[in-house]
Structure 1
């Protein structure tokens, strides 16, 4: 067999050792705080099975529903997230092997993924960011393997991964576009074979159910994408935040990314320029589309892998101690991305990563709302301003069991409709303002503001979330509901 087509030997022991360390660190703090608002939403969304939702395809909500059905509260969801992160670590080592790296390069690549701020922070909760990372990592390995083997069947895993990815997150379209551009520019010979075309057809076929759902519902995913772009500030806003990609890589690991770009672009690894094309495509498309800085971050795995190969090749000429670099980056990532500090101390890091603080205070929130609901007429509906509040009341609370339906007009919650009965008396909870509520009810009384323990600040406090008693509606639920719908 041609040497180039031989299976690169994966250094299982060191790579799995790195993954094991990452898993242990994550498990230690996995449930230190509590649920995240997005996790509530994924679980509730999964309880409304469909081929799509206004803000995502169906895969992650379905997995969240399964995980939440297991005992242990939020822990099974976090275990799913940690498993995805461990998979990315192993695939980072595998990709370094596909790029021609030995045991040292594979260990460095696996360590970089395990210590990257982006990969660590995404695994703090279960959701589309961490499952999307696994899809990108698997796609890089599948394409590298297919190009090495040069057989039709070798391309089929890439098609399956692409199809799964499209049923998980719409941004995988950009990943597939990057693969196509990379092949068109540097591997046209591969495009003369049926393999890539069959893989593309397979991915499209697997994505059809979600596409059909989107089309039948008027393409709400596009409207949602526009809302998110506007919130980011459009292309200029994304461009201004693009330097955050260096922070997401992990400041000590930026040099490894530079080495990766050099190897893929001009070094002995230029046969793998297709991987650099994916990174470039992701940065350009997501920036022009007003995407968030972390959208192209999963492509960092290719730079880590290629940089690790170059680091291995130049080990005798450079004094940089990569284990120390990886450990330093890992410490930074853990402090920024994980709830390792007391909540009040973690509050100081909220500007760098607000996600962690969104996992604090939900039981206290539920208790405050249920105390107010107990003083309302039986069957009073609870209308929340966002899906996190509605999910917390549904999963952690007793409101629905006590006859208080919990609804929201945000995103897919709006599709599940208003409650039955009359909106004569409604308990409105969350980031509402008095002028907004007066659009729907003549009489609005603020019962109390939402407070968090230990002076914690999160989205609820920033937006002055409160509990309101609303009476004398300006119509029926059917008449009010279209104006209560909102995407954000």
Structure 2
């Protein structure tokens, strides 16, 4: 065992184990984000599809909660383990593409030194599963490229199908693999064998349940996600935002070496210089990267969208060091950049656990995580005082956080966007008596509520946060006499401006 730990492979495993333990501790003590709390609701009602995404994140949360309980660790258990496995697969891919054990170790470390993975590797979001299955597909294809068994094609197909069952953006791996095959004569011959086509059939079969679910539910997920593809106004400034943000989130050190690595397969090399086989991660990721740039021509690309590409970029960066390691100064900067990424990520995780710190709340970067338990208790007390039989919200995040806190002893519903809850097929009794609608004050307008209820009365103003720090301000309205079937159809005549306020922030 000691001999193994002295080898690069052993040090890689030890490093991944250490950062995983840190993430597990952080996952337990960091409050759920609104999206995580929302996906937790999905896990209460397992289905083959949901309003926003395919079902993988819900299945993972359900499994984690079965093992670790209904708490932040249970919600995040599988995503944290997936980050660990993706780290090991990044090392495996580097080795399969011709890198040394030391390069493989660097790929795993640099993958975790990116800020998106270092800080976000605990989050229970669809990207966690998509990133894992994406790198698993590449690892299987790397075996194919080395002449491995045709069964590796089936492994690649299974990974690709599960990636799409995690997030639709993983569909871009299919044209990426075709591009990789088409750009080399030997690889093109593989298309004449049955294995790639069997892999494609397997991938589609694994994704088919979600397609069937969508067909049965008016294609709501497909319509929502693919509706983003349609171009709107031309705004190329978003491309600069995308590049600048990802340069930072990838870690400037890793980003610089990744750029060098992206050039390696096509750069003229000296006779004594090794040429790494980086065409696979580069070409497989090219269609997705191209789409992100295209999307940025008309809209903002969210910071976490490119995450499936990070493992391949870490491998490219590590390979670039192997080809041209540089001198002592370059080694020193690599140590500084790697350490900075890991320490900064760990520091941010510690900061995110301090949801009750008055000192840190004065300059608050995590207001979205603060004060949900206290707010839930205040809402429950107000509900009882007002004799309300149910609690409503405008935002799905507010509803989800109330549900996760288990403090409100009455039915809770989101009064708009009822399509979000098609996963819950259980019959619900009609809402009884008056209700209490609570949400951020900027989302609430009594005139809007009066379109759905006969009587609307402001009965309270609440704050969520830490005393002495920034606060999120909430309004509470007592409502009676619904004019529509709120539980089934929601408020269909809610003006677009209330939806815009909801989407503008949490």
- TM-score, normalised via structure 1 length: 0.85
CA RMSD of aligned residues (A): 3.1
> Conserved in 2, the CA contact under 8 Å of 1:389 and 1:430?
yes
1:172 CA displacement = 0.9
Residue 355 (structure 2) pairs with residue 345 (structure 1): no
Instruction: Pick one of 129, 132, 146 that aligns with 1:131.
Output: 129
1:259 CA displacement = 2.5
- 3-state SS of the aligned residue for 1:339? helix
Aligned to 1:222: 222
- 3-state SS of the aligned residue for 2:387? coil
How far, CA to CA, are the matches of 2:113 and 2:59 in structure 1? 29
- 3-state SS of the aligned residue for 2:330? coil
> Conserved in 1, the CA contact under 8 Å of 2:260 and 2:317?
yes
- TM-score, normalised via structure 2 length: 0.83
Aligned to 1:359: 369
Aligned to 1:4: none
Per-residue CA shift, 1:242-295, capped at 9, x if unaligned?
Answer: 121111201222222123212244265464323212333212113334442432
1:110 CA displacement = 0.8
Aligned to 1:314: 324
- 3-state SS of the aligned residue for 2:435? strand
Q: 1:228 to 1:22 in 2, by over 3 A?
A: farther
> Conserved in 2, the CA contact under 8 Å of 1:42 and 1:60?
yes
Aligned to 2:391: 382
Q: 1:192 to 1:217 in 2, by over 3 A?
A: same
Residue 368 (structure 2) pairs with residue 370 (structure 1): no
Residue 460 (structure 2) pairs with residue 448 (structure 1): yes
Residue 407 (structure 2) pairs with residue 409 (structure 1): no
1:238 CA displacement = 4.4
Q: 1:474 to 1:230 in 2, by over 3 A?
A: farther
Instruction: Pick one of 33, 37, 62 that aligns with 2:34.
Output: 37
How far, CA to CA, are the matches of 2:232 and 2:20 in structure 1? 33
Per-residue CA shift, 1:143-176, capped at 9, x if unaligned?
Answer: 2122112542221110111111122111110122
How far, CA to CA, are the matches of 1:347 and 1:126 in structure 2? 28
Per-residue CA shift, 1:84-107, capped at 9, x if unaligned?
Answer: 111121111111101211121011
Aligned to 1:3: none
Aligned to 1:104: 102
Aligned to 1:200: 200
How far, CA to CA, are the matches of 1:433 and 1:222 in structure 2? 30
Residue 285 (structure 2) pairs with residue 275 (structure 1): no
Aligned to 1:324: 336
How far, CA to CA, are the matches of 2:376 and 2:234 in structure 1? 35
Instruction: Pick one of 451, 459, 463 that aligns with 1:439.
Output: 451
How far, CA to CA, are the matches of 1:409 and 1:317 in structure 2? 60
How far, CA to CA, are the matches of 2:233 and 2:354 in structure 1? 33
> Conserved in 2, the CA contact under 8 Å of 1:424 and 1:473?
no
Aligned pairs for 1:30-429 (under 5 A) are 30-69=27-66, 70-71=68-69, 73-186=71-184, 187-225=187-225, 236=236, 238-243=238-243, 244-266=245-267, 268-269=274-275, 271-289=277-295, 290=299, 291-315=301-325, 317=327, 319-321=329-331, 322-336=334-348, 339=351, 342-343=354-355, 345=360, 348=363, 350=365, 356-377=366-387, 380-399=389-408, 402-410=409-417, 412-415=419-422, 416=424, 420-422=429-431, 425-429=434-438
Q: 1:140 to 1:450 in 2, by over 3 A?
A: farther
Give the gaps of 5 or more residues in structure 2: 1-6
How far, CA to CA, are the matches of 1:122 and 1:177 in structure 2? 28
1:211 CA displacement = 0.9
> Conserved in 1, the CA contact under 8 Å of 2:450 and 2:456?
yes
How far, CA to CA, are the matches of 2:345 and 2:246 in structure 1? 14
Farther off after superposition, 101-110 or 408-417: 408-417
Counting matched residue pairs gives: 467
1:138 CA displacement = 1.3
1:208 CA displacement = 0.7
How far, CA to CA, are the matches of 2:484 and 2:381 in structure 1? 27
How far, CA to CA, are the matches of 1:232 and 1:456 in structure 2? 39
Residue 480 (structure 2) pairs with residue 471 (structure 1): yes
> Conserved in 2, the CA contact under 8 Å of 1:235 and 1:288?
no
Per-residue CA shift, 1:367-394, capped at 9, x if unaligned?
Answer: 121111112336x221112222222222
Per-residue CA shift, 1:372-421, capped at 9, x if unaligned?
Answer: 1112336x22111222222222232243xx44444453465443489533
